[in-house]
Structure formats: structure tokens, C-alpha cells
Structure 1
Amino acid sequence: MAGNTICFAFEDRYNAFLHVCAKADHGKGKLAGIGIAVKDNISTKGIETTCASKILKGYIPPYDAHAVSLIKNAGAAIAGKTNMDEFGMGTSTENSAFGPTLNPADVNRVPGGSSGGSAAAVAAGMVRMALGTDTGGSIRCPAAFCGIVGLKPTYGRVSRYGLIAYANSLETIGPMAKNVTDVSLLMSVIAGHDKKDATSYDRSYSHTPKAEIQGLRIGIPKEYFGEGVDPDVASVVQRAIGRLEELGAVTVPCSIPSMEYALAAYYVICTSEASSNLARFDGVRYGPAADTKKSWHAAYQEIRQQGFGPEVRRRIMLGTFALSSGYYGKYYAKAQIARENVRKDFARLFTNVDVLCGPTMPTIAFKLGEKSDPLSMYLSDILTVPVNLAGIPAISVPCGKVKGMPVGLQVMGRPFEDERVVDVAYAYEQAVKS
């Protein structure tokens, strides 16, 4: 078996990993001999999985997530588990209970979140590929901030079995790598139906990226270049779109009116689902053992207060409030109506265009500690959350730099047209290489 073992001997200067597998076996297949990093909210049999939270410290899953089983079956080796915002709640990987991850492009800046550890590991060359998860931009944000490629698949195209739930109706597992070809390769392994996930579709992915986009109609939503978007970032992305035009694509100005409500709707829905999902971490089923000498209520409160970080506690409370009697209709029900309007806006646009393009993030990676106010952090998600509300695919591909920091071009497509957004990203990537 020694000939099928990979030894991992990289230096983690960025706190990208929470656990490194010193060595791991690999098999035969598409991913033979490739070490892949796995975000720490994706279950790995026999390897500690904490969601970067104290409440799950020491938890070792007895099973692999479906996506992990697939990459192992394809010959990959698990390089380790990557750092993240606790339970996926954040845009910077500063909310980890085990310290922030640093951006390899500038260690004074955040790598983005919540899949910041996966992005940093790829960007620093510690691994060739990584699995991340995307609930409101958590693959695309760190991909943009670290200068790599990240794909948020169509909801249901990759099984969520074994993904420790934060917001079930929004989140998905997806691939991250330095180039579009590797992202597409990893996607071809993890996509497809899984009988253990009732939300997964029987839509496999077997695609070799193509750079031909002649005649492709690209919608340019004005909201993606509006208030809150750094003019320098917008300029870099507009130049990238111009490059796509040079390749034969046609741009079409358009608008997404529901963008005005998307961010608020997203945070009501995701916190409500988090409130329900995280109720299981009570010191009985999961988490440190509760003090049985105390009353149930006191023990439960103590476990959760000590185990959850401030951002997780904040979102649980916001979600509990939104679902409470007298407020459900005022907040949660209205948020679902707004979500449907977002979905309808995308569906309307896709009758006239093939993809939509804009910046992935409104700014470059910000400095560590810069966004101490939760609201300013939430506003960073304005360009990514609509995709999750609608369940459509989107990819972030590096398209230039501002002040020496990477900028991402976001390509969004119709449901289950992941191949098309990959092709557009690939066409751009190949054009700037030549």
C-alpha cells in the first residue's frame, strides 16, 4: 500500500488548515494521486470535523460525506480539513474559533469566507484542489479575494449528505482550484444524484471546458456596478467583460429590481434555518456533555454560550426572533416572497441572455479586523447572495488586480447550465493567458 500513499509536507503559514493528514492513501481514477483539502464542515470519516467551532471540538464523524466518498473513489487523497468561519457564518474566516486564516496575497488581509481556508490552501500551492461550501457566496468570495477559481453549482447538483447544515435551502458543496480546468474536473467527480439527499438531482456533469463563446449573449445587470461597488473593482471587471466581447460575445444591459431586497431576505432566511439546524448542539446529542446536576435549561444555555462564538449566537437569536410567534409573517414569510421575486427576475433575464456577468465582490479583500461592525460585513455579500436565493450556478474567475489584490469576475447562468458558466470563465482565462 506504500506506493499508494501521499505524504503531505507543506508549511501552513496562513492558518489555512485545522487538521493536516500527514499521509493519506490514494487510489486509481480521475483524481489519482491528487491531494484535496476539505472544508471543515464536510464530514470525513475518522478525521476530526469541527465547523471551526469549540462546540464540535473532538467530534470525529463515523462516515464520509457523499462528495468525499466520490473523490476518494476517484483516487484522491484527503490532505486535511480547512479553516472557515464558524459553521459557515462569515465573509472573512475571522469568525473561526481557532484563529483567522491569512490571505496568501497579503497576510494583513482576509482571504474571504467562509471557505477561506480552502481558498488560501489552493492559492498558496499547498493543494491543487479543494472542496468548499457556498451558502451566500462562501466559495466565490474567497476565490475572488485569493485570486483562484471557485464554482457554486446549481442547487441540488451536488449532494449535501454529510454537509453539516447551516441553511439547508441555500447551501451547496463546490470545487475550488487555481484554474477552470481543475474546477471542472473536480465538479465532474462530485456532481450527480444521491439517494441519501432528497434535494439532489440526477444531473451528472461530464464536461471538458471550451473557449468558444461566439454569439453568446451576456447580460450586464446595472445593480452589479451600482452603489457600494468600488469603482476600481468595477473598472477591472468591465475590462474583463470587454475582453469577452472581443471573443465574440454580445453584451446586453439589464436590471434585477429585486436586488434591493435580496440581502435582507437572505439574512432572514439563513438565520431562521440556522436557528433550527443548530438546535441539535445541546450537550446531549452533540457538543460537550452538559452538567446534569444543573437544570436542563441552565445546562443547555451554558453549553451553547461557551461553545458557540458571538457571530453564531447572533444569527441563532436573529433567526429565532424571525420565526417567533407574531413575527413569522412580518419577516420570514416576506423574505420568502422576496426570494421568489429574485428567482423570477433571474428567470426573466435568462429568456433574453445566456449568462450574467459582474464583479464577484464589491471590494478587494479588506484588512484583518477592518469590518468589526456586523452590518458592514453583511453588506459585503450583496453581489453573491442573489445566486443562492435563486439556486442558480455561478463561478468566480480572477480578472485582474486593484492595489495588488485579486479581483473576481462572476459569471452566473441558468439552473443546471453549470457547463456554460464554466465555458465563459474558461474562455476568459485562456484569452488572458495568450
Structure 2
Amino acid sequence: MNKRISVLLLSLTLGACQAMDESRALDEAERVIAEAKQQQLLNAMVFIDEQKLKQDARALDRLSESERAALPLAGLALVIKDNIHVAHMPNSAGTPGLKNFVPSRDAEVVKRLRDAGALIVGKSNLHELAYGITSNNHFTGPVQNPAKPTYFAGGSSGGTAAAVAAGIVRAGLGTDTGGSTRIPAALTGIVGFRPTSGRYPNEGLTMISQTRDSVGPMAVDVATVATLDAVLAGEPELELAPLSRALAEPIRLGVARDYFYQNLEPEMEKGIEQALAHLARSGVELIELSASELAGLNHRVSFPVVLYETAQLLPTYLEVNNVGLSAAQLLDAVKSPDVKAVLTDAFAGAITPEQYQDAIEKHRPALQAYYQGLFTRHDLDALVFPTTPLTARPIKGSEETVSATETGLGPALPTFPSYIQNTDPASNVGSPAISLPMGRSEQGLPMGLELDGPVGSDRKLLAIAAHIEAILKERSN
């Protein structure tokens, strides 16, 4: 283990925690409230309970020094995506039918954050029902990108990403079905993590797929994400030592150009090649390989699973939570045309039970075996590629298609499949994945670099991500 990396990882986490400890919680709460009001045109937040936030902050400030030191997230202000239950806060999931639904209990992930000393600020905006990648919500309004207002922030966790990128908070929670933490993280210039499926509890979520959905922490840096991961996973040891023990040199990253490097806009292609060259100069081993079968395998799992499971989950969710409306009424009230179209297909039985069983019992295991094979055959620590083939685009007119180039002069591409191209496989496999800032285009638009690891390698992947993050920051300095 390289001593410099070990010291770096430890200092990153200690620095993040020290910043929280040295600030009075009430001061931080008041700062967040003021910042959210100042940047309300971003439309990142849909609900803030100022009174409750200040109350919780005062309670934290009354703790003794030793009591506060025992809380790993003491004073860290977090925003929560509005499809994750927070007690006594509306949980609209960005859709009119749920606008009056107020859960009485925190989701388990939120409870774990509170127990660790975090301050829950409020609920963040999202793509309606988490069914899209732009966060252009026709009910709550679109989330704007802090890097370039009037451009979309990515989705579906766009509100959390925008709140973090704009400096309202240091971190928050999103959910990820096909890239919904990583895509907005990449497009706004922050860190977004999807854990191995099942690592965090999914109780208390407005879910659209029990197979693919996962809560995902999003933050300004890997160190904060790593601490959140430990809390959310219920790990007893919150120090970063497990990460440093998991990391050995040289790091071996796979480069599969025949899948993950296709359909890149010129600026993205330039950005990833420069990043790879810098990683190689810094001692990272890059292994060229083929993933030629990935597209077909992934296609046979992706939509068959999510469409079928949505049609089962949403009616049950409405009934269990006594929302007081049917699935048909929920669908009828949906405002975003892209979401209404896909949900109409789902509820109409676009995927048959037989197709779903094939996807779950045959095609998904084949995809998982193929993905794992990429790591084992080539002795890889992770795969590396651009999180999205494209940078963000203007909100207006982005529902169906976007331009292939930043200038808007390129050919039209379908929005949804273009942006999930690289993030979707990890969601279907259930493997951990993380997006890191990779720099900016000539127009000032953030670009993301993704690392995918084998199933169960979450802490090792976070260690690798911290090392890559440091290398990329060195390049920009």
C-alpha cells in the first residue's frame, strides 16, 4: 500500500469531519436556509422545514464534546430526494397525485443519518416519479444546472445534485435506478455513488423497481460519500482504514472502448482521453479490453425489469401507505409527457409476466456473469469510462431529443437512452459504481468519469475513487 495514498485517504476523511465539528450546528442550519433562499431559482429544493432544522441543530449544539464526537455526521446538513420518506415532510415523488402524502416515519436510511448526527434540511426536486434523466419536471418545475442555468441538471436526482453543486449543502441522498445519482453528479460536477444492490435498506422509498432501485449518497467529495456509505450500510467502523487496506497498487482499470466509449461528443472524448493519459502517467494501469456483448445482454434486462416492476410496485405503494387514490388516478395526474407515456405502457402490460421472468431468471444472471467476467479475466479493480457520453443540454426541448454536440449544430439524439448508455449496466447487474468530476468542457459544462467495480467491492471502489479523485485534482491545479 502506497503510504501517500493511505495518508491522503485518512486526511480527506478527517478534514471533512473536522469541518463539521468546528462549526456550530445552528450556524450551519442558518447558512443553509439563507443559501437555499438565495439560490431558489435553481429549483433544487421543494420543501424545507426551517423550524425543525433549527430545532435539531440546537439539540446537537447542546451535546457535550464527547457526545458530539461519537456522531460521525455531527452537524452535516443533508438534502433528501423527494421519493425517500422523511417523517412529517411531504413525499410527492415529484407528481401531483402524491402532493398531499406526508409519511409519519423516516425511511430507514434517513433514520441512520439522523442517528449519526446529520441535519435533515428538506426534500429535493427530481424528475417526476424518478422516471427520467433531465429533472425537467412539469409539475414541480425543472431543476437548473448551477454550472449553466437554463441547462438541465440531470436526473432523476437532479435536485440533490444541484443543491450540492451550488453549495447549499455538502451532501445529500438520491436514488439510482439506471444512473439517477451518477448522471446528475456528472452533469453538475460532484460525486455520485451507487452501492451494490441491497447494501442499503430500501424501506420507505417510492420505488419503481425492487431489482434496480438503490439509495445513493451524493457529495462534494469522495471522503464525504465514503462516510455516508458506512453510515447507510450500518458498518460499525466509520474510519477510513478499511478503504486503505482494500487498496493495493498498481490499480488496474479496464477500458472497454467498444461499448462505453461510443457516441461521445467531441468535448467528452477529448476530456476522457486526457484523463486516461494523466492516470497512466500517475501509475494507474489501463487495460484495453472488449465488452462487445454488453449492449445485447443489458438490453434484454433493462426495460423489461423496470417496466414490469413499476406496474406492480406503485399500486402496492399507494395501498400500503393509504394514499387514497388508485394507480389509474396517479397516472392520470402525471404532468410530464415523457413520464406519462412510459407509465401508460407499463400499466398497460407492455411487459408480460413471461418476458419479466425471462429477464430475471435468464438474462440478468447472464449479464451479471458477463460483467463479473470482465473483472476476473483481466484482473481488474474497476472499469473506467465517461459517466455520460454528452454534457448537459438546454432544458427547453430536451424531453425527447438533444443535439449530439454542445453547439446544438449536431444531429438529434434520443435523450434518455443517450444519457443512460454507460450507467445502465451497473444498475442491472447490481454492482457498485461512482461518478467523479473529470473537468469541464470549453462551454464550462461539467464532465464525469465513472468507475464500476465488481459486486460487493464497495469500500475498495471508494478507495480507488479517492485515489483517482486526487490524481484528477492534481491535473486541474
Separation in 2 of the partners of 1:55 and 1:264?
32
Corresponding residue for 2:162? 120
Structure 1 residues 323 and 373: CA distance shift in structure 2, 3 A:
closer
Corresponding residue for 1:109? 151
TM-score, structure 2 as length reference: 0.80
Opposite residue 409 of structure 1, the aligned amino acid is L
Opposite residue 182 of structure 2, the aligned amino acid is R
Tell whether 2:49 aligns with 1:21.
yes
Out of 297, 312, 316, the residue aligned to residue 276 of structure 1 is: 312
Corresponding residue for 1:311? 338
Separation in 1 of the partners of 2:424 and 2:328?
31
TM-aligned CA deviation for residue 206 of structure 1? 5.1
TM-aligned CA deviation for residue 345 of structure 1? 1.4
TM-aligned CA deviation for residue 106 of structure 1? 0.3
Separation in 1 of the partners of 2:455 and 2:214?
14
Opposite residue 120 of structure 2, the aligned amino acid is I
Out of 447, 450, 458, the residue aligned to residue 418 of structure 1 is: 458
- SS of 2:250 mapped into structure 1: coil
Structure 1 residues 136 and 355: CA distance shift in structure 2, 3 A:
same
Corresponding residue for 2:470? 430
Out of 324, 336, 343, the residue aligned to residue 368 of structure 2 is: 343
After superposition, what is the alpha-carbon deviation per residue over 1:191-212, rounded to whole angstroms, capped at 9, x for unaligned? 13xxxxxxxxx89875355596
TM-aligned CA deviation for residue 99 of structure 1? 0.4
TM-score, structure 1 as length reference: 0.87
Tell whether 2:160 aligns with 1:132.
no
Given that 1:151 and 1:393 are in contact with CA atoms closer than 8 Å, whether structure 2 keeps it comes out as: yes
Opposite residue 379 of structure 1, the aligned amino acid is S
Opposite residue 235 of structure 1, the aligned amino acid is K
Larger helix proportion, structure 1 or 2? 2
TM-aligned CA deviation for residue 349 of structure 1? 1.1
Corresponding residue for 2:267? 232
Tell whether 2:433 aligns with 1:408.
no
Opposite residue 356 of structure 2, the aligned amino acid is Y
Corresponding residue for 1:244? 279
Separation in 2 of the partners of 1:56 and 1:378?
27
Corresponding residue for 1:259? 294
TM-aligned CA deviation for residue 319 of structure 1? 2.5
TM-aligned CA deviation for residue 238 of structure 1? 2.3
Corresponding residue for 1:388? 427
Opposite residue 373 of structure 1, the aligned amino acid is E
Out of 347, 356, 359, the residue aligned to residue 332 of structure 1 is: 356
Separation in 2 of the partners of 1:155 and 1:345?
17
Corresponding residue for 1:171? 213
Given that 2:183 and 2:388 are in contact with CA atoms closer than 8 Å, whether structure 1 keeps it comes out as: yes
TM-aligned CA deviation for residue 213 of structure 1? 5.6
Tell whether 2:396 aligns with 1:369.
yes
Query: Which deviates further from its counterpart, 206-215 or 92-101?
Result: 206-215
Identity of aligned residues (%): 30
Corresponding residue for 1:355? 382
**C-alpha root-mean-square deviation of aligned residues, in Å?**
2.5
Q: Which consecutive residues of structure 2, in runs of 5 or more, have no partner in the other structure?
A: 1-23, 61-67, 402-413
- SS of 1:181 mapped into structure 2: helix
Corresponding residue for 2:408? none
Separation in 2 of the partners of 1:174 and 1:302?
30
Structure 1 residues 432 and 318: CA distance shift in structure 2, 3 A:
same
- SS of 2:435 mapped into structure 1: strand
Opposite residue 168 of structure 1, the aligned amino acid is Q
Structure 1 residues 20 and 256: CA distance shift in structure 2, 3 A:
same
Structure 1 residues 95 and 339: CA distance shift in structure 2, 3 A:
farther
Separation in 2 of the partners of 1:426 and 1:226?
23
Structure 1 residues 50 and 301: CA distance shift in structure 2, 3 A:
closer
Separation in 2 of the partners of 1:366 and 1:204?
41
Opposite residue 129 of structure 1, the aligned amino acid is A
Separation in 2 of the partners of 1:372 and 1:360?
20
Given that 2:97 and 2:329 are in contact with CA atoms closer than 8 Å, whether structure 1 keeps it comes out as: no
Separation in 2 of the partners of 1:391 and 1:216?
22
Given that 1:36 and 1:130 are in contact with CA atoms closer than 8 Å, whether structure 2 keeps it comes out as: yes
Structure 1 residues 153 and 206: CA distance shift in structure 2, 3 A:
farther
Separation in 2 of the partners of 1:203 and 1:317?
44
- SS of 2:206 mapped into structure 1: coil
TM-aligned CA deviation for residue 33 of structure 1? 1.3
TM-aligned CA deviation for residue 249 of structure 1? 1.9
> How many residues align structurally?
411
After superposition, what is the alpha-carbon deviation per residue over 1:64-88, rounded to whole angstroms, capped at 9, x for unaligned? 0111111111111111100001111
Given that 1:322 and 1:332 are in contact with CA atoms closer than 8 Å, whether structure 2 keeps it comes out as: no
Corresponding residue for 2:240? 207
- SS of 1:350 mapped into structure 2: helix
Given that 2:186 and 2:387 are in contact with CA atoms closer than 8 Å, whether structure 1 keeps it comes out as: yes
- SS of 2:255 mapped into structure 1: strand
Given that 1:84 and 1:96 are in contact with CA atoms closer than 8 Å, whether structure 2 keeps it comes out as: no
